[in-house]
Homo-oligomer: A and B are copies of this chain.
Amino acid sequence: VTAGGGSSATADVAYGIDIGGTKVLGVALGSAGQVLVEARVSTPTGPAHGDAVGREVARAVVDVVAQLDAAPEVAAAQPGSPGLAGAPPIGIGVPGMVDREGGLRFSPNLPQAHGVDWHVLLSEQMPRRRFLIENDANLAALAEHRLGAGRGFDHVLMVTLGTGIGGALIVDGRLRVGGHGYAGEIGHMVVDPAGPPCPCGRRGCWERYASGGGLGLLAREAAMAGRLPAVVALTGGDPESVRGEDVTAAALAGDGDARRVVEQVGWWVGFGLANLACVLDPQRIVLGGGLLAAGELWLDAARAAYAELVEGGPTREPVDIVPAAMGERAGAVGAAVAARQGGLW
């Protein structure tokens, strides 16, 4: 999207960076689509807002880029010292509503960054690099459709379950971004108007239940209702301080109470997927994001809820609900793919 030097050398390596609610994850992608090297830093958090925090996040991006630039794997894949003019193009995935010019309109899970112009901020710090800014889930879908679990399907629903929920739609063989670039913002379908408040300003959004954040919320609800005694005891006795990670760890260790809470999240995942299948009729559903790390605990519950809730049930063709082949790297890999080809298509 942004200009910059460029030569055929840039086709060898491309960088992809996924700015998440908890971490900034970068990859350098080789010309055959292989990940050469990975780098990550924590996403800066704090009370700062707008450009101030935008600058902090931009510095985290600079940090990740510097790590990739310094990696011997990158140098080895770029024959002949390319210098800045031949520096790898950088694709950047951000959560939230990204318009067709790469501007971030609204980002509930990166609220500090509302109104931030990533192009300007990043160009300030890396004036001679080329950037492409896109919605993180769109990039994950691009990667999985091109190289991963969605390969060979013309209708794929990509869902990233992280701090919040991202989504992207492959329809008739191509990524579709909607009339203004915002399609796939599926985490903010309201599933209960009286539900818990969401950072987006409304209540009861799907991502309040079916994401990493949702797991924490359901866990604290269960803890306060006395349904997680062992977990509460382990975390110091205060039900309000129980986090999603605590419940996942306890469930993996065999705690039946914890397992039921994680399965409840799985039910909510399946619930939303069934609704989306009514709208979109995908051939395959690919799930990515951090919540997949504990997928063994809830994927079956999600599949069961989907089968129970989707319109037509057994009269319609079954749809596989599968984890992203690239796991949590899907967004970063897709960012690199988009950077190399100069856009989503």
Task: Write out, one digit per residue, whether chain A residues 272-293 have a CB within 8 A of any chain B CB (1) or not (0).
Answer: 0011101111110000000000
Interface residues of A in 6-52 (CB under 8 A from B): none
Set of chain B residues within 8 Å of A105, measured between Cβ atoms: 312, 315-316
Q: Contacts A171-B171, A180-B317, A271-B190 known; A202 to B279 CB distance under 8 Å?
A: no
- Decide: A192 near B190, CB < 8 A? Known: A179-B281, A316-B182: no
B-chain residues with CB within 8 Å of residue A278 when the two chains form the complex? 182, 185-189
Q: Which residues of B contact A155 (CB under 8 A)?
A: 178-179
Query: Per-residue CB proximity of A113-141 to B under 8 Å, as 1/0?
Result: 00000000000000000000000000000
Chain B minimum-CB-distance residue to A317 = B180
Closest to A181 in B: B281
- Across the interface, do A192 and B192 meet the contact criterion of CB distance under 8 Å? yes
Asked if A339 is an interface residue, CB under 8 A from chain B, the answer is no
Contacts of A313 in B (CB 8 A): 201
A170 nearest in chain B by CB position: B179
Residue A245 CB within 8 A of the other chain: no
Bound together, the chains give a CA A189 to CA B311 distance in angstroms of: 8
The answer on a CB contact under 8 Å between A316 and B106 is yes
Q: Is the CB of A189 within 8 A of B280?
A: no
A280 touches B315 (CB 8 A): no
Task: Name the residue of chain B whose CB is nearest to the CB of A205.
Answer: B311
Question: Is A322 located at the chain interface by the 8 A CB criterion?
Answer: no
**Nearest Cβ distance between residue A222 and chain B, in whole angstroms?**
18
Say yes or no: is A191 at the interface (Cβ < 8 Å to chain B). yes
The distance in angstroms between the C-alpha atoms of A184 and B171, with both chains bound, is 13
Whether a CB of chain B sits under 8 angstroms from the CB of A234 is no
A154–B182 CB distance below 8 A? no
A106 interface neighbour in B97, B181, B281, B315, Cβ under 8 Å: B315
Judge whether B106 and A311 touch: CB under 8 Å: yes
Q: Judging by beta carbons under 8 Å apart, are A183 and B312 in contact?
A: no
| Chain B CB within 8 A of A326 CB | no
The reply on A73 being an interface residue by CB < 8 A is no
- Is the CB of A176 closer than 8 A to any CB of chain B? yes
CB-based contact B275/A276 at 8 Å: no
Inter-subunit contact A183/B311 (CB<8 Å): no
Which chain B residues border A177 with CB–CB below 8 Å?
281
Which A122-177 residues have C-beta < 8 A from chain B?
153-155, 167, 169, 171-172, 174, 176-177
Contact A279 B171 (CB under 8 A): no
Query: Is A193 in the interface zone, CB < 8 Å from B?
Result: yes
Distance of A189 Cα from B313 Cα, bound (Å): 13
Which residue of B is nearest A177, CB measured? B281
- Is there an interface contact between B188 and A311, defined as CB atoms closer than 8 Å? yes
Which of B185, B193, B279 is in CB contact (< 8 Å) with A189?
A: B279
- Identify the closest chain B residue to A182 (Cβ): B281
Q: Does chain B have a CB within 8 A of A309?
A: yes
Q: Does A252 contact B (CB under 8 A)?
A: no
Interface-centre pick from A183, A191, A280, A311 (highest chain B CB count, 10 A): A311
Q: Are B282 and A279 in contact (CB under 8 A)?
A: no
| Shortest distance from the beta carbon of A263 to any chain B beta carbon, whole Å | 15
Q: What are 15 of the A-B contact pairs (CB < 8 Å)? A: A97-B312, A105-B312, A153-B179, A169-B279, A171-B178, A172-B174, A177-B281, A178-B280, A179-B281, A179-B282, A185-B278, A185-B281, A187-B278, A189-B279, A190-B309
